[in-house]
Amino acid sequence: MKKVITYGTFDLFHKGHYNILKRAKEYGDYLIVGVTGETYDIGRGKLNVHDSLATRIENVQNTGFVDEIIVEEYLGQKIGDIIKYDIDTFVIGDDWRGKFDHLSRYCNMVYLERTKGISSTQIREETFDQYDIGIVFDYPDDNQIIKESKLVNGFEVKNIYCEDKKVLDKFLEKYDVENVCESYSEMVENSDIVYVRGEIEKRYSYIRKALVAGKHVIYDPPATFKEHELEELFDLAKKKNVILMKNIKMVHIYVFNQLLWMTQGGLIGDILSFNCAISKYDINRSNLFYDLSVYTLIPMLKIMGQDYEKFDYIVKKDGENVEFASMNFVYPKARAIITVGNKMRVDNQLEIIGTEGTIRMKNDWWKSRNFEIHTPDSTDVQVYNTNYEGNGFKYLIREMSNLLANNRIDSRRIFEDESLTIIRILDKIKKVKN
Ligand code: C2G
């Protein structure tokens, strides 16, 4: 019996998929199809898959050509599958020509011509809603949203607006955007989603205007230093039934979910200590300190909770500019120390000590792809991993896409009370006189 194997995502099943399965079967007596699992697709950057794994399997099964279906779960699985299932021939479309030649050592390798004029990408573009994103900015970089939003189906940056002509020119040297708007109102009007990437002092008013116009908003936090203003923005978003989302990419990536699961689920025991530090210096960003602080306070509040009994701090300022702060939060049975350096250099790291294990994330932990767990009773180190490219903005956009599909406006990744607590903490630091 000759056994054939082929693989694919088979999203929004179409004629091209049907044809390749039909022809693959002609190469033998028994056809196995590897349908890609969601984690594997996300890992290889395919974030826009629409159909569930169950639906995709069902569609492949319904062709009647397939004898067995397996799930492709990780990079490199193909070699193991060929050996395990004793495969004679591997078939794949010629869009992959040359890419799988190394498999010819194990079995026959056949590239079949793709069916012309049809693809899942094309169907997705024709079938689903398209969301135009507009960016308002004060800094000459896009935080990778232009590139990363393209990876999520139906999202694209189409409009930009910047008050400062020099910054705008610098931005345009790097990026190609369809519509450079003359005014903020024009940009808001032309966009479905507004990304507010401005100086802290301007964020509240930019966000407010976009919400009043009924647009979804992504913003770099903090939006304001005033609690009542943030509450007002939350209320406005609800009234207008639009999404108001912080640009904190960390909470959308797998490794952070794993971290929360380990710590909140008690898997490293009772937490005794949370220690995290971040530092960055940018001469052009006077208030960068507050942006950096949000990044440290989010995991702290999520992991340690908001019921700290005491909060004290040491702050070093140069005029209004915070150069360094060490914040100390005393909880009933634990302590958290947050160190943020704007001018002062500190080692970026995150360490959580529990009674049954210590978690460590090194270097730029807020965008880390892994963390280590050291258990007290062994020298074993467990490593939890995820793989992704870019800065993770695509995961935030994908969350937005899911919310829109589910008619929800609150993401549940960061709760309102957590955001309000952060504003209260930052406001205290802001009021410190040197
Ligand atoms: N295909 C085709 N004609 C089309 C579209 C797709 O022949 N118009 C083929 C592809 O070449 C592939 C199969 O259909 O062999 C499945 O395509 P996708 O669902 O796009 O899957 P892909 O990302 O190519 O997965 O491990 C995954 C595999 O390596 C390939």
**Residue nearest (by alpha carbon) to ligand 1 atom 11:** 93
Q: Are 388 and 43 in contact (CB under 8 A)?
A: yes
From the CA of 291, how far away is ligand 1's center (Å)? Answer: 42
Give the gyration radius of the chain's Cα atoms: 25
Q: What is the CATH class of 122-248?
A: alpha beta
Does the Cβ of 114 fall within 6 Å of ligand 1? yes
Does the Cβ of 77 fall within 6 Å of ligand 1? no
Does the Cβ of 247 fall within 6 Å of ligand 1? no
Q: pTM for the full model? A: 0.91
Q: In the chain, list all ranges with CATH 3.40.50.720.
A: 122-248
Superfamily of domain 3-117: HUPs (3.40.50.620)
- CATH 3.30.360.10 at 254-387, yes or no: yes
**Residue nearest (by alpha carbon) to ligand 1 atom 12:** 93
**Residue nearest (by alpha carbon) to ligand 1 atom 27:** 8
Residue 98 token pair: 């040359």
Q: In the chain, list all ranges with CATH 3.30.360.10.
A: 254-387
Can you tell me which atom of ligand 1 is nearest the CA of 11? 19
**Residue nearest (by alpha carbon) to ligand 1 atom 14:** 17
Does the Cβ of 93 fall within 6 Å of ligand 1? yes
Does the Cβ of 17 fall within 6 Å of ligand 1? yes
Residue 160's φ and ψ, nearest 5 degrees, are -140, 155
* Exposure letters 46-64 (e unless 16+ CB within 10 A, then b): ebbbbbebeebbebbeebe
Q: In the chain, list all ranges with CATH 3.40.50.620.
A: 3-117
Q: Are 224 and 230 in contact (CB under 8 A)?
A: yes
Does the Cβ of 221 fall within 6 Å of ligand 1? no
**pLDDT tens, N- to C-terminus, the chain (434 residues):** 999 999 999 999 999 999 999 999 999 999 999 999 998 998 888 888 999 999 999 999 999 999 999 999 999 999 999 999 999 999 999 999 999 999 999 999 999 999 999 999 899 888 888 999 999 999 999 999 999 999 898 999 999 999 999 999 999 999 999 999 999 999 999 999 999 999 999 999 999 999 999 999 999 999 999 999 999 999 999 999 999 999 999 999 989 999 999 999 999 999 999 999 999 988 778 789 999 999 999 999 999 999 999 999 999 999 989 999 999 999 999 999 999 999 888 999 999 999 999 999 988 899 888 999 998 877 789 999 887 778 889 999 999 999 999 999 999 999 999 999 999 999 999 999 87
